[in-house]
Amino acid sequence: MTPLSMKSEVMTGHRRAAIVLLLLIVFLAPSGRADNYPEGVAPRVSSSRVENPIPLMAYYYIWFDTQSWNRAKTDFPLLGRYSSDDQAVMEQHIRWAKEAGIDGFIVSWKSTFKLDRRLEQLLEIADREGFYLWIIYQGLDFERRPLSVDRIGDDLEFFLEHFADHPSLHLYSQPLVIWSGTWEFSRQQVEAITSSYGEQLLILASERNLEGYQRLADLVAGNAYYWSSVNPVTFPTYQQKLMGMSAAVHRRGGIWLAPAAPGFDARLLGGSTVVERLEGATLQTQLDTALRSAPDAIGLISWNEFSENTHIEPSQRYGTQALDLLAGREVTTPPALPDFDSSAPATTSPGAYAPLLVVGGTLLFILFSIALALLRHRQDVDLDFP
């Protein structure tokens, strides 16, 4: 081999190595969202958001009787003061939701004769419509006291026996159940349930802060935070809280369900907090904030919680405002993160992502340094040959 051909081969080899390393830098650079699903549970979303599908799920309530509308209501559905037994109402709800880009409902349930009947009806409609359903299991009673572990086990056993085979429950490989009120249960009580049913169901906690989730992190498949009353105007650092919880869930390979609500007013239930809708701006802000927390799904609060005035169902007061907003936007790419007031107190450590950033940054620096060294060495090779 001539010196010239040797020179050419060495230069080509170094050039290829440098190109490969630069490509690695590009592909290993941190992305806006990590699809860190537990093995075998990647979502089967078939909506318009196919580029980066983040399921959009709305909390849905099947407890309504016609007399329910006489208590703590300041707004009413365009469909009238319906009963959740009305099949036509359920069908219209699903049609409206699909048109707005919502992938499914998160159905509030525990086993009673009435709720079992209504859930069965909703499942059959959702099966026909190609619409997904998750369950939020109501682990607390009307007085906010925890149900017994035996009762919860019996209900989940009933659910598996009677409902779990419905196609609409299989956005993931197993039906997903959010356990509402996990903060009222001991670690031993939660483990008693998840050790029995965790192979057949994806059971998520509903913890409201980082410490609560970490208490149960190794027992559950993730966390769904139902935060209906946050006010983005008065609590701008809540972004940091969501990001911290997301990072903790994803470190365990779990599912993170981020909340987004259009507004809130539960004064007729004895509360004092009011979050104005601001002509849809509140919902827009909360959706953007949820997206920035790298969610595996977004939980819209809610389809029809009229007592807390978080509903997005078309209503007499707000019309189709929320659904029009949802139908007119893409929810695949998180918007740029705004500058929050760094002097304001954070509810959770803003450094939750720091370990990931340090590791990623170090890796990129090493790869870039190697690539640069190879390119410089190529220049040295040029000088070694005549």
Domain residue spans of the chain:
56-333
Strand partners, 264: 275
Residue 208: burial class (beta carbons within 10 Å; 0-12, 13-18, 19+): middle
CA distance 103 to 324: 15
Single-letter code of the amino acid located at 84:
S
Mark residue 294 as left, alpha or beta (left: phi above 0; alpha: psi -120 to 50; beta: remaining): left
CATH dotted code for 56-333: 3.20.20.80
Reference 303, options 72, 93, 119, 127; nearest CA is 93
pLDDT one digit per residue (tens) for the chain, 386 residues: 543 344 344 344 444 444 444 334 333 433 334 444 455 455 544 333 344 479 999 999 999 999 999 999 999 999 999 999 999 999 999 999 999 999 999 999 999 999 999 999 999 999 999 999 999 999 999 999 999 999 999 999 999 999 999 999 999 999 999 999 999 999 999 999 999 999 999 999 999 999 999 999 999 999 999 999 999 999 989 999 999 999 999 999 999 999 999 999 999 999 999 999 999 999 999 999 999 999 999 999 999 999 999 999 999 999 999 999 999 876 544 444 333 232 333 333 333 333 443 344 445 444 444 444 444 444 433 323 22
In sequence order, which residues have a C-beta less than 8 Å from that of residue 377 and are 6 or more positions away? 14
CA distance 23 to 78: 55
DSSP letter at 72? S
DSSP letter at 121? H
**Contact status, residue 194 vs residue 188, Cβ threshold 8 Å:** no
Report CA-CA distances (Å) from 80 to 64, 75, 193: 12, 10, 39
pTM of the model as a whole:
0.77
CA distance 159 to 171: 17
